Each structure stands twice: as C-alpha cells, then as structure tokens.
Amino acid sequence: MSEGIVSTITYEFEFQAAHQLHWHQGPCRSMHGHSYRCELTFGGDLDANGVIVDFDVVAVFVESTLMACLDHTYLNDVLDNPTAERIAAFIFTLVADTPLPVEAVRLWETRTSSALVRRA
Ligand SMILES: [Zn+2]
C-alpha cells in the first residue's frame, strides 16, 4: 500500500494466576496471585483482505491454547520459576509454534511492571 511503513497489530487479554518465587527475598517468596495482562504483537505484510492476521483467529488461539493452560493456574506447575520474563517467553514460544506472525509478547504483572519478549 504505502512504501516505507510497517504495521503491527496487538491483541490484549487478561488471565488470573498464582505463583511463588522461591529465590525472592521479599513478598514474592510467598504464594500470591496476579491479574496478568498480556499483549501479543503481530507483524508482516497485509494479506488480500488488508490485515496482518484476523483478530478473530488470534482470539480463538488465545482462548483455546493460552487461557486453557494459564488462566486460574498455579504457574509453578506450568513452568519453573515463573517470573514475568519467563512467563512472557513461555507465551512467546507457544505463539511462535503456530503460523501466527508473532513479533513480541509483553506481559504486565502489575499496573507498573511488565516484561517484553521479542525475537533477538
Ligand atoms: Zn508475583
């Protein structure tokens, strides 16, 4: 369409989960929960319909795969040492295993703190 510009789209979802960081010297050493907010960013060329990927396709993947394995779980049962960085990387890997053109995953653990994972 236009030379010299690139587009990305971002799909955001939220899940609730508990975790515990055994190495932490502060309150995160105890089991506690977060309302995690996750942003999935996709990039690439627009298809014949003018989209990078249909938001509905992303929504189905999020519900069937990501929510199914993360929502209302004890994250230490899903992966070791579930820091925001490691949870974001775990989500990135799950999305990257699909044809969806993921560029980045940002995981907000609190209103002020997030981890960003993208291809190196
Ligand atoms: Zn925490």
pLDDT in tens, 67-110: 999 999 999 999 999 999 999 999 999 999 999 999 999 999 99
Active site members: 28, 72, 109
Gap from CA of 117 to ligand 1 centroid (Å): 18
Greater model confidence, 120 or 40: 40
CATH classification code of 8-118: 3.30.479.10
Q: Position 52: which residue type?
A: I
- Residue 42 pLDDT exceeds 90: yes
Q: Which residues of 26-54 are buried (b: 16+ CB within 10 A; e: fewer)?
A: eeeeeeeebebbbbbbbeeeeeeeeebbe
Instruction: Judge whether 56 and 85 are in contact, CB under 8 Å.
Output: no
CA-closest candidate to residue 118, choices 81, 91, 83: 91
Q: How confident is the model at residue 3 (pLDDT cuts 50, 70, 90)?
A: confident
- Identify the DSSP state of 23: T
Gap from CA of 20 to ligand 1 centroid (Å): 7
Gap from CA of 58 to ligand 1 centroid (Å): 26
Gap from CA of 3 to ligand 1 centroid (Å): 43
Share of the chain above pLDDT 90, in %: 93
Given the structure tokens 């396709």, which residue do they identify? Answer: 57
Q: What are phi and psi of 5, to 5 degrees?
A: -125, 150
Token digits of residue 71: 């929502």
